Structure 1
Amino acid sequence: MRALFVGGVVDNSEMDLDGPHPPKHYPENTGGGASRYSLRQVGTTDDRVVYAVYGAPDLDDGFVERVAGERDYARRFAAKVQTVH
Structure 2
Amino acid sequence: MRALFIGGVVDNSEMDLDGNQPPVHYPENSGSGRPRYRLHQVGQRDDGSIAYAVYGAPDLADQEVERVADERGYARRFEAIPTIATH
TM range (shorter): over 0.9
Pair 1:83 & 2:84 matched: yes
SS of 1:40 mapped into structure 2? strand
Partner of 1:47: 48
Encode CA deviations 1:14-56: one digit per residue, 9 max, x unaligned: 0000000000000000112111000000000011111000000
Task: Name the aligned partner's letter for residue 18 of structure 1.
Answer: D
CA distance in 2, matches of 1:74, 1:30: 29
Encode CA deviations 1:59-80: one digit per residue, 9 max, x unaligned: 0110000000000000000000
Partner of 1:10: 10
- Percent identity between matched residues is 67
CA distance in 1, matches of 2:15, 2:85: 19
Partner of 1:31: 31
SS of 1:75 mapped into structure 2? helix
Q: Which runs of 5+ in 2 are unaligned?
A: none
Q: Which runs of 5+ in 1 are unaligned?
A: none
Equivalenced residue count is 85
Q: Which structure 1 residue ranges, 4+ long, deviate > 4 Å from structure 2? A: none
Task: Output the TM-score relative to the length of structure 2.
Answer: 0.96
Task: Output the TM-score relative to the length of structure 1.
Answer: 0.98
Aligned-residue Cα RMSD (Å) equals 0.6
